[in-house]
Structure 1
Amino acid sequence: MRLHLPLALAASALLAGCAATPSRPAAAPMAAAAADDNLNAVAWTQTAIEHDLIYLQTYREAQSHLLAALRDPQWDALSKEDRAAPVTGLPPAVVLDIDETVLDNSPYQARLVKSGGQYDEASWAAWCKEERARAMPGALAFTQFAAAHGVAVIYLSNRATDLDTATLANLRKLGFPVAGPAAFLGLGTVLPGCEQIGTEKGCRRQLVSQKYRVLMQFGDQLGDFVDVVANTEAGRKQAIDGYMGWIGTRWFVLPNPTYGSWEPALFNNDWSAPPAVRRQQKLDALRYN
């Protein structure tokens, strides 16, 4: 709490102070801290109980539907574009993104906020190799439940394939079921005859579809479920057209305000633009009524 002295008392105190001390140059005003658009997002991710409750709610809801999906031989959570083989006779699996879906990388984001830095592949790889990411609430219990009922757990991530050893070690330390190296499909995994565009996961989902009937998918990005042809507001909505009925039954979407493809969609996907320009375009995207 800030206490406010009466004006006269404050003035007399100020005059007395001036009389008692020699004059000195005025102190330079403190420079205002640069705005960091990610500060609130990272703080919310790390401290808000609401964040944890959303994850628990999502994974518990998924678990409540899993056995029914397992009993339905035609149940499948892959889009028609990603289903490259008939589901009949295939063993069941669940497909999960890793970062901000099962592993919490907010310490890496917090370091960037504190240092004023930006994401780069070297610092990201170094963080992954620390193998210190924590489990997201509810993720461990769900994946263990799935594995206990004979459902394969596949981690489909945009972590590079050369981070597989560190990533699988991190998952194992936390108790996540990891059947082996094939459980991790990182960026760089190749499906012959399928051309990957950027970091889209469609080819890897097609690879999964050749081996498994996918009961559920989990992710914090739209691209964890379908390939996004045009990363614009309209294009993102179009990508999930026809699949809204799957939300909460086959597709389980988790919150990530700290980063994601939603952000560059606001500035025409142009990361080469100066930060001030990108920030202004994000401001221009806000709705005021």
Structure 2
Amino acid sequence: MSKSLPALAGALLLLCGCASQAPHSSSPAASAPAAAASAPAAPVATTPADDNLNAVAWSQTAVEHDLIYLETYRNAQSQLLGALKDKQWDALPKDDRIAAYKGLKPAVILDIDETALDNSPYQARLIHSGGEYNEADWAAWCKEERARALPGAVAFTQFAAKHGIAVIYISNRSQDLDTATIDNLRKVGFPVSGPEAFLGLGTILRGCDQVGTEKNCRRQLVSQHYRVLMQFGDQLGDFVSVLTNTDAGRAQAIAPYMNWIGTRWFVLPNPTYGSWEPALFNNEWGTPRDQRRHQKIDALRTD
């Protein structure tokens, strides 16, 4: 029995030693569960979602964006001289061809914004500020004369001018922005024959009643002086009048001219703005921004 006492004492010491190795409150093993429980929640975004972020980012950074423009303008240039030689070739819709084109000088018509000039920096500013388009800020941007040329557009218009084809710019920039717009176009290399080459919003054609920002009156004005070989734009209204801005109305307006796409009419991509957007919320810009967003979401197809 005297031999068993040391053994018992040793066992007790061993148990005490084990207990002394148990993690205490300052050890990583002990603190891990408590830390997990008290970890701060992920930061909540303070910047509200902006529907235009991806669109503007794509326009500014995606090489695919530039390639589409190059492809479009190069394709048009490869067909331009053939259109010039074909004396029956005209790219104005029938309602806008109010004068016979026989014997008239040839021309091409280009929209300006997102067709010839890149205004994505203005859109980027709106994203940073959280604001929306307004005429004062837009006019200020135009007067900076800093918009860059879109890929392929300068080369195409210079080619046209070299072959005696007038380049006419029909834009919904206000007519009083003519000087700044023409200066910007010239700075980046576009041929501009003179002030008459810019037909901005507010240009008057006697006897023609313009509806909203439709360009039909200005196309009719061009038809009095030119045989139009091609038209370029990023909006349906750059080519034909859209009097009912709904899905059905837009489809009806373009239906008679579908076989002109890629031959007489050349459409450029613009995911940042356009008449397609208000068509999704009944053209009611007075609707609160969050409600407009929900209506756009509701318009998405999921099958």
Task: Report the TM-score when normalising by structure 1.
Answer: 0.91
The aligned counterpart of 1:191 is 205
* 1:197-232 deviations in Å (ceiling 9; x for gaps): 000000000000000000000000000000101100
1:108 maps to what in 2?
Answer: 122
> What root-mean-square deviation, in Å, do the aligned CA atoms of Structure 1 and Structure 2 show?
2.0
Which of residues 161, 185, 192 in structure 2 aligns to 1:147? 161
Shift of 1:74: 1.2
Aligned pairs for 1:206-285 (under 5 A) are: 206-285=220-299
Residue 184 of structure 1 deviates from its aligned partner by 0.1
CA distance in 2, matches of 1:134, 1:41: 18
The unaligned stretches of length 5 or more in structure 2 are 1-26
- The answer for the alignment partner of 2:51 in structure 1 is 37
| Cα distance between partner residues in 2 of 1:46 and 1:139 | 16
> Given the alignment of the two structures, is residue 92 of structure 1 paired with residue 88 of structure 2, yes or no?
no
Unmatched runs of 5 consecutive residues or more in structure 1: 1-10, 20-25
Question: Residue 174 in 1 paired to residue 188 in 2?
Answer: yes
- Indicate the SS of the match to 2:122: helix
Deviation at 1:28, TM superposition (A): 10
* Separation (CA, whole Å) in 2 of partners of 1:173 and 1:13: 68
Q: Structure 1 stretches (4+) deviating beyond 6 angstroms?
A: none
Q: Percent identity?
A: 75
For residues 49 and 31 of structure 1, what CA distance do their matches in structure 2 show? 29
Q: What residue in structure 1 maps to residue 145 of structure 2?
A: 131
CA distance in structure 1 between the partners assigned to 2:28 and 2:206 by the alignment: 83
Q: 1:283 to 1:211 in 2, by over 3 A?
A: same
Sort the Cα spacing of 1:12 and 1:75 in 2 relative to 1 into closer, same or farther, 3 A: same
Deviation, 1:30, is: 3.8
Is the alpha carbon distance of 1:150 and 1:13 closer, same or farther for their aligned partners in structure 2, counting shifts above 3 Å? Answer: farther
The structure number with the bigger radius of gyration is 2
Q: CA deviation at 1:12?
A: 2.4
